[in-house]
């Protein structure tokens, strides 16, 4: 047996093992991971973009069908990032295999990098596939491709981190669904995924500005068409702010062992 | 020689107020098989989980080969393998994938040749592409052991390794544990089967209600625990034990009608010699009866006496 234990400064093998495990899980359930969200988003597109959108005039100079594409991608990104990351960490808790993770020489940061990285990877791939699917229906232009990729990655990382927190907090499968279904999805629908908040009455517009999702969708939409509900700087700040808050919560969880260790 | 695991003043209390461990001090020597005995709920698993990083101690320190398990957790955990009591497995993974995952998780570079050898040693090689959910309980237990050994640990914790396994697998596991010890691996085994400790351990610790009530060399402990009794029902009562029988561990009971010989189980009972001596002394035996103490019973009695 091993007599000399090398000092591990960064457990890259550990991070890679978790990452690969999570990706393999997604590939094993390819229909659930990829096909289902693509079909769901396509249906949204058909209903809101083609059926209803054909009766609407252009929004901010952009054809309505094309206008909702960033919102649809964001909607998929939010739900899939949350779902992938929360399930990824909740499942070992549920089966009991979490013992191995807790007893392994992996740091909290490495655990987060691996789980959040894997969930974000899946979401980004899904987002790109949805964009490709949408391009079959409407012509899509991306004015700021670097920003578009940036917002895509940041949002995927943000919501994967948020999902990771939900996965640790959850005590049941019902808990896993609670926040995505009852909070995130409504906020996304009310956050300008299918409309510009400029179309709302002034009071509702002001109210919408308290919805953080507005800033994420607006920034992403700006990267496509060069205009958004709020300035891109504010969107960026909100995205970074959300990420920092999630990081602080995760750091607290690992420091206290909240719902991980007794 | 520095102990490979050193547990100093460790306590564990839960928010409910329940004190699972009360000031545990224990050193495990390198290369030994140490059996931690105790009834259910004694604190065995809590102690192991603290050493492995799964449970946070309320106070005290633990080192593995000199590495503090909290401050220097990477080095400490790298050298520890754990087989938990519960059969917790990734049901949808194959045997090969889950064992390879464990090796990577513990920071070791891939080594398919080693994994193959490990699976062969555990009679799992032909199951390597089988999903864990398709394996029997015994096979799953082997997979858990393979996972724990995948990163070539120097210290192996086996938490109730034979709970609910059949006799054949139990024997296989005992052989495996001895083989690991021969390779220099230190093994800490928890069990509430004293028979298992008797079979394998070099030293034994007894824990009850969160307190380590004794730590002894197994041979010594077995002398204390294991007894055989031969009861000779006599034709006529004896007023006292004859001087010629003084070298035998005998006592009289039932108003001299029963002569009882007690021997350590390790020494065995030399009945023929005793019977010959009794015959020479014209002591007539009406009937005889042998009785071996239940190790479980003796253990429970020892635990209840000491607490």
Closest partner residue to A8 (CB to CB) among B74, B92, B102 is: B74
- Domain stop point among B222, B251, B269: B222
Rounded Cα distance between B155 and A47, Å, is 61
Residue B303 lies in a domain: no
Q: β-strands B155-159, B186-191: how paired?
A: parallel
Instruction: Output the CA torsion sign for B212, B49, B99, A110.
Output: negative
Same-domain pairing of B183 and B143? yes
pTM of the model: 0.83
Rounded to an integer, the average pLDDT of A195-200 is 84
Q: What is the ipTM of this complex?
A: 0.86
Closest CA to B159 of A103, A101, A95, A18: A103
User: Quick one: average pLDDT of B182-196?
Assistant: 87
- Do residue B29 and residue B59 come from a single domain? yes
Give me the CATH number covering residue B259: 3.30.70
Q: Three-state DSSP class for B202?
A: coil
Tokens 């460790």 locate to B10
Q: Please state whether B98 falls in left (phi above 0), alpha (psi between -120 and 50) or beta.
A: alpha
Do B87 and B217 share a domain, yes or no?
yes
Q: Which of residues 149-188 of B touch A (CB under 8 A)?
A: 151-154, 180, 183-185
Query: Has residue B238 been placed in a domain?
Result: yes
Please report the sign of the dihedral spanned by the C-alpha atoms of residue A154, residue A158, residue A160, residue A164: positive
B125-167 tens-digit pLDDT: 999 999 999 998 888 999 999 999 999 999 999 998 887 777 8
Indicate if B254 and B136 belong to the same structural domain: no
Residues B169 and B271 in one domain: no
> Could you tell me if B160 and B237 lie in one domain?
no
| Domain span at B232 | 227-293
B209 and B248 in one domain? no
Does residue B120 carry a pLDDT above 50?
yes
- The C-alpha atoms of residue B116 and residue B125 are separated, in whole angstroms, by 7
Instruction: Please report whether residue B141 resides in a domain.
Output: yes
Give the model confidence (pLDDT) of A75-108 as tens digits. Answer: 999 999 999 999 999 999 999 999 999 999 999 9
Residues 6+ apart with CB under 8 A from B250: B241, B259, B260, B261
Question: CB within 8 A of A208, min separation 6: which ones?
Answer: A190, A191, A192, A197, A200, A214
Does one domain contain both B148 and B262?
no
Residue whose C-alpha is closest to residue B79's, from B47, B106, B115: B106
The answer to whether residues B190 and B240 belong to one domain is no
Q: How do residues A43-85 score in pLDDT, each as one tens digit?
A: 887 887 777 777 776 677 788 888 889 999 999 999 999 999 9
Question: What's the mean pLDDT when you consider all of chain B?
Answer: 88
In a domain, B305, yes or no: no
B244 and B186 share one domain: no
- Least CB–CB distance from B56: residue in A8, A106, A257: A257
- For residue B103, is it within any domain? yes
Q: How many domains does chain B have?
A: 2
In-domain check, residue B301: no
SS (H, E, C) A157-199: HHHHHHHHHHHHHCCCHHHHHHHHHHHHHHHHHCCCCCCCHHH
Indicate whether B273 and B135 sit together in one domain.
Answer: no
- Domain at B81, CATH number: 3.40.50.300
B233 & B141 share domain: no
Q: Which of A167-171, A195-199, B247-251 has the highest mean pLDDT?
A: A167-171
- pLDDT value of residue B303: 67
Final residue of a structural domain among B184, B203, B222: B222
Position with higher pLDDT, B111 vs B266: B111
CB within 8 Å: A3 and B154: yes
The answer to whether the Cβ–Cβ distance between B54 and A103 falls below 8 Å is yes
Instruction: Select the residue of A3, A13, A105 nearest B109 (Cβ to Cβ).
Output: A13
Q: Which of B176, B202, B222 is the last residue of a domain?
A: B222
């Amino acid at each position: 047996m091993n007599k000399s234990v090398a000092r591990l400064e960064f457990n890259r093998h550990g991070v890679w093992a978790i990452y690969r495990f999570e990706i393999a899980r997604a590939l094993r359930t390819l229909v659930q991971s990829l096909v289902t969200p693509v079909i769901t988003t396509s249906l949204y597109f058909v209903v809101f973009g083609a059926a209803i959108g054909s009766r609407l005039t252009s929004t901010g100079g952009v054809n309505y069908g094309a206008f909702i594409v960033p919102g649809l991608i964001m909607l998929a990104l939010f739900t899939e990032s949350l779902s992938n990351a929360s399930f990824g960490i909740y499942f070992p808790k549920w089966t009991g295999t979490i013992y191995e993770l807790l007893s392994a020489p992996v740091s909290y940061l490495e655990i987060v990098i691996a789980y959040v990285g894997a969930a974000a990877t899946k979401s980004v791939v899904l987002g790109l596939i949805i964009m490709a699917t949408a391009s079959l229906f409407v012509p899509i232009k991306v004015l700021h491709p670097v920003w578009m990729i940036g917002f895509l990655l940041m949002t995927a990382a943000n919501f994967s981190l948020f999902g990771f927190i939900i996965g640790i907090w959850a005590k049941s499968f019902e808990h896993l669904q609670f926040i995505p279904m009852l909070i995130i999805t409504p906020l996304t629908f009310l956050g300008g995924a299918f409309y510009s908040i400029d179309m709302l009455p002034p009071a509702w517009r002001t109210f919408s500005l308290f919805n953080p999702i507005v800033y994420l969708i607006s920034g992403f939409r700006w990267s496509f068409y060069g205009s958004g509900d709020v300035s891109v700087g504010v969107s960026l700040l909100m995205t970074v702010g959300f990420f920092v808050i999630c990081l602080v919560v995760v750091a607290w969880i690992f420091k206290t062992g909240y719902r991980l260790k007794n | 020689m520095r102990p490979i695991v050193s547990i100093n003043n460790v306590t564990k209390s839960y928010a409910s107020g329940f004190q699972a461990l009360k000031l545990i001090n224990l050193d495990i020597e390198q290369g030994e098989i140490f059996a931690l005995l105790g009834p259910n709920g004694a604190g065995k698993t809590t102690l192991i989980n603290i050493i492995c990083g799964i449970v946070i101690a309320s106070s005290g320190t633990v080192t593995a080969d000199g590495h503090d398990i909290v401050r220097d957790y990477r080095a400490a955990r790298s050298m520890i393998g754990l087989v938990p009591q519960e059969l917790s497995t990734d049901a949808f993974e194959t045997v090969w994938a889950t064992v390879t995952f464990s090796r990577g998780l513990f920071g070791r570079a891939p080594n398919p040749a080693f994994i193959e050898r490990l699976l062969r040693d555990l009679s799992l090689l032909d199951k390597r592409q089988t999903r864990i959910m398709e394996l029997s309980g015994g096979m799953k237990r082997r997979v858990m052991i393979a996972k724990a050994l995948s990163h070539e640990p120097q210290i192996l914790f086996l938490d109730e390794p034979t709970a609910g396994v059949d006799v054949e697998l139990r024997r296989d596991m005992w052989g495996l544990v001895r083989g690991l010890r021969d390779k220099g691996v230190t093994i800490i085994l928890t069990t509430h089967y004293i028979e298992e400790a008797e079979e394998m351990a070099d030293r034994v610790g007894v824990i009850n209600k969160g307190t380590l009530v004794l730590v002894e060399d197994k041979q010594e402990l077995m002398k204390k625990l294991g007894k055989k009794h031969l009861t000779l029902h006599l034709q006529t009562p004896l007023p006292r034990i004859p001087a010629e029988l003084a070298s035998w561990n005998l006592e009289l009971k039932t108003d001299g009608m029963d002569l009882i010989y007690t021997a350590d189980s390790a020494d065995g009972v030399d009945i023929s010699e005793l019977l010959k001596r009794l015959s020479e002394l014209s002591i007539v035996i009406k009937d005889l009866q042998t009785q071996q103490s239940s190790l479980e019973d003796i253990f429970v009695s020892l635990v209840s006496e000491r607490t």
